[in-house]
Amino acid sequence: INLRAIDGDRLGIALDEVTTREHLDLLLEAFAKGDAPTVETLESEALENEARDGIPEALRRRSDFLTHPVFNLYHAETEMLRYLRRLQSKDIALDRAMIPLGSCTMKLNATTEMEAVTWPEFADLHPFAPLDQAAGYRQLFDRLEAMLCAVTGFEAVSLQPNAGSQGEYAGLMTICKYHESRGEGHRNICLIPSSAHGTYPASATMAGLRVVVVACDDQGNVDVEDLRAKAGEHRDNLAALMVTYPSTHGVFEEAIREICRIIHDNGGQVYMDGANLNALLGVCKPGEIGADVSHMNLHKTFCIPHGGGGPGMGPIGVMAHLAPFLPDHPVVPGVNPAAGPAGTIGTISAAPWGSSSILPISWAYIAMMGAEGLTRATQMAILGANYVAHRLAPHFPVLYTGQNGMVAHECIIDLRPIKEACGISVEDVAKRLVDYGFHAPTMSFPVADTLMIEPTESESKRELDRFCDAMIAIRQEIAEVESGAADAKNNLLHNAPHTHSLLLGDWDRPYDKERAFFPLPGMQEDKYWPPVARIDNVAGDRNLVCTCPPMEAYQEAAE
């Protein structure tokens, strides 16, 4: 139980799932100066009935729950431990192999960085705890904000947004509030490149802005002339540009300063997506390039583990003129110390500093790396991506590169010619990679039928070579299909992944078992066995309800 003084007449009482009736008895006794009724004498049953009656009749569950046998099999700690180990063995995680998901930055989450998450001083503190009980936590927030400002070139940071997409929304709302404070609340046009992530138009629409699509050239860069024309056309109503740097295609756009200048010259603000910040730290700063606001994915660049829906943190950094409008909080004072008379954008997430229990991870990462270490990490991330791109280039076309033939921190290989030539799809290659012991790269984003590969600085040359060897071997398997040496349908790729259950039955495939299960030397030592064969993705796709229109829909609406 924790108590929080709200004002002279009100007191907040915080309870949690481990609060017992004995705890409540002590609380009642404290308020009654030793002569207090017990919970039982307060008709606890009536209180419980009142709590139950607070749930509407239509929402009360009547079916049985926890009926699966798994909920009744593992009661001893040893049994639970072994059950969790069996679950772990089904997954390809970073403890087994690199996870080369492009635009995801699946880097090492070091044990030392993670340790503080388990400390009760961080883990058990309520988000609304009185500030005098959270002085150390507040010190961590302040220091982390200062660190993030130092590495990005921004002058203020809000830790409140809980995800990159929420950071987008918070950043755009901050821009809108800034325009409103200047008597320009009519500015409602948001320019978005056609290559943008799907959350861009969603965030802009939620912020009350109208999306205008900007074309990209053949190299995936923003078409500067189209941007100039549309910024000029909408100059009286231009609110913002949303842009990614490095680009969504994994390339440093050399015109980024000019792009920012065009927007500013037409009265708008620049929102720079920080999803690819792992290619910038210590090399350049968004705040010095021309960005007014940017989010930072702490769960990517700054080492918070992620995947499977969370947890995430998407703080936003802003230049000084936007700081007064950053989020605040109605319960906890002082969240935005720069708040001015024009007001802030209010609250973006329920807790004042977002998912604060995981912030010690990013603080520890930056503190241990230091400026020199962060710069070195960026250099190694870029080096690794270019090494992979150059090793694979003779076998797969690398779709986008800069003027010097280099990529940023990730590369995209094009499988469209292969699909056209022999029917082998990007999914076939992704599933076959599982047989080689690798998680697949990002499929069909930002271009259909491509693989986006981001190795991160965490991977050694040995692991990069192991991945490249697997991709090159898969290309040789594809060549067999192209030449007719392998069947067009019944082949290593279409049938992938190969599960251990296939070893138990009669082998009826037109290729050797060894090629199916152990395609490269040395795999017998630590073979990953996929728990299931290929599922019917088409059936799943046909039952998907998508509420986020593609970028083309906004283009058509504008026309």
The angle at the Cα of 324, spanning 320 to 325, to the nearest 5 degrees, equals 115
* Per-residue model confidence as pLDDT tens digits over 150-172: 999 999 999 999 999 999 999 99
Nearest-angstrom CA–CA distance, 231 and 229: 6
Instruction: Please give the pLDDT value at position 505.
Output: 82
Tell me which of 332-341, 442-451, 547-556 is least confident: 547-556
Torsion of CA 256, 258, 263, 264, to 10 degrees: 110
Q: Would you say residue 519 has pLDDT above 60?
A: yes
Give Cβ neighbours of residue 395 (< 8 Å, ≥ 6 apart).
471, 472, 475
Burial of 354 per CB tally in 10 Å (0-12, 13-18, 19+)? buried
* Per-residue model confidence as pLDDT tens digits over 222-246: 999 999 999 999 999 999 999 999 9
Nearest-angstrom CA–CA distance, 156 and 139: 16
Please tell me the class of the 165-363 domain: alpha beta
Nearest-angstrom CA–CA distance, 1 and 47: 18
Q: How distant, in Å, are the alpha carbons of 18, 21, 36 from that of 50?
A: 20, 17, 22
Would the pTM of this model clear 0.85, i.e. be above it? yes
- Residue found by looking up tokens 């791109």 in the block: 389
Q: Which two tokens stand for residue 414?
A: 């094009």
SS3 at position 92: coil
Instruction: Please give the pLDDT value at position 204.
Output: 97
Within the chain, all domains assigned CATH 3.40.640.10 are found at 165-363
Q: CATH number of the domain at 374-551, out of 1.10.510.10, 3.90.1150.10, 3.40.1160.10, 1.10.486.10?
A: 3.90.1150.10
Instruction: Please give the pLDDT value at position 278.
Output: 97
Q: What are 443's strand-pairing partners?
A: 451
* Per-residue model confidence as pLDDT tens digits over 166-196: 999 999 999 999 999 999 999 999 999 998 8
* Per-residue model confidence as pLDDT tens digits over 277-289: 999 999 999 999 9
Q: How distant, in Å, are the alpha carbons of 168, 277, 395, 410, 453 from that of 388?
A: 31, 20, 11, 9, 8
Q: Which two tokens stand for residue 56?
A: 């509407």
Nearest-angstrom CA–CA distance, 525 and 126: 47
Within the chain, all domains assigned CATH 3.90.1150.10 are found at 374-551
Q: What are 452's strand-pairing partners?
A: 412, 442
- For every residue of 7-22, which 3-state class applies, written as one string? CCCCEEEECCCCCCHH
Instruction: Please give the pLDDT value at position 535.
Output: 85
What average pLDDT does range 122-145 have in this prediction? 92
